[in-house]
Amino acid sequence: MNATELQAKHQAGMTYTDYLATGNDDQQKNWTTIYDRIQLTDAQRQLIEGFTRKINIIGVSGIWCGDCVQQGPLIARIAEASPAIDLRWLDRDAHIDLQNQLQINAGNRVPVLVFCAEDYELVGWFGDRTLTRYRAIAQRSFGPSCPMPGAPVPEDELTATMQDWLDEFERVHLLLRLSSRLRQIHGD
């Protein structure tokens, strides 16, 4: 993925609101329910508001995907907290050329975020589930019982997953902030 290709994908992406509107009523309700349940803490908001380097992000997702429903709204909350973050959403199946480059364990998994610098140089990508999500799923899957599909997400899992995503956003920002190339460009 070169910067020109990433810029084109980013520009083809949708805002969170526009992306959400591509779903049917039930899908929109599922995303909105999680979005309404989670907020950044004051400390998290201050951290994100302090970002000084622009981060262009491509969110590869499926409006129908359960993991996307449980994580996409958290990602949106983080992105909304800083004008330095420009998050655009792409449907995985409509952009299979990009998805094929982001396969995880030989599979098309979502959500995956592609983090780019201000000039669309690739910084890295992260997905499909955070460590908290994997731990929770493993505990339910390997434990005495498994929840029914569509079971509510416990509050502590949402909070910890939010922190996992926030940590990745912070890692990317610090990488950009400490980048010799960008420090030379910005004179800092």
β-strand pairing of 112-116 with 85-91: unpaired
- The residue-averaged pLDDT of 137-164 equals 76
What pLDDT is attached to residue 147? 46
- The residue-averaged pLDDT of 99-128 equals 95
Residues 6+ positions from 58 with CB-CB distance below 8 Å: 6, 9, 10, 13, 88, 90, 98, 113, 114, 116
Q: In angstroms, how far is CA 15 from the centroid of its own chain?
A: 13
| Among candidate residues 119, 120, 68, 117, the one with its CA nearest the CA of residue 89 | 68
Domain that holds residue 89: 3-186
Task: Spell out the long-range contacts of 74-77 with Cβ–Cβ below 8 A and sequence spacing 24 or more.
Answer: 74/34, 74/38, 74/158, 74/161, 74/162, 74/165, 75/111, 75/113, 75/165, 76/16, 76/35, 77/35, 77/38, 77/39, 77/40, 77/162
For residues 77 and 40, the answer to whether their CB atoms sit within 8 Å is: yes
- The residue-averaged pLDDT of 92-121 equals 95
**Cis status, amide bond into 128, omega within 30 of 0:** yes
What pLDDT is attached to residue 156? 92
DSSP state at residue 167: H
Give the whole-angstrom CA distance, residue 165 versus residue 153: 16
For residues 176 and 182, the answer to whether their CB atoms sit within 8 Å is: yes
- The residue-averaged pLDDT of 30-49 equals 96
What pLDDT is attached to residue 142? 80
SS3 content of the chain, % helix, strand, coil (to 5): 55, 15, 30
- The residue-averaged pLDDT of 74-94 equals 97
Q: What is the mean pLDDT of the chain?
A: 93
Torsion angles phi and psi, residue 126, rounded to 5: -145, 140
For residues 127 and 104, the answer to whether their CB atoms sit within 8 Å is: yes
Give the pLDDT band of residue 150 (cuts 50, 70, 90): low
Give the pLDDT band of residue 113 (cuts 50, 70, 90): very high
- pLDDT tens, residue by residue, 46-69: 999 999 999 999 999 999 999 999
Number of domains in the chain: 1
What pLDDT is attached to residue 143? 62
Residue indicated by tokens 């989670």: 38
CATH of the domain at 87: 3.40.30.10
Give the whole-angstrom CA distance, residue 101 versus residue 176: 23
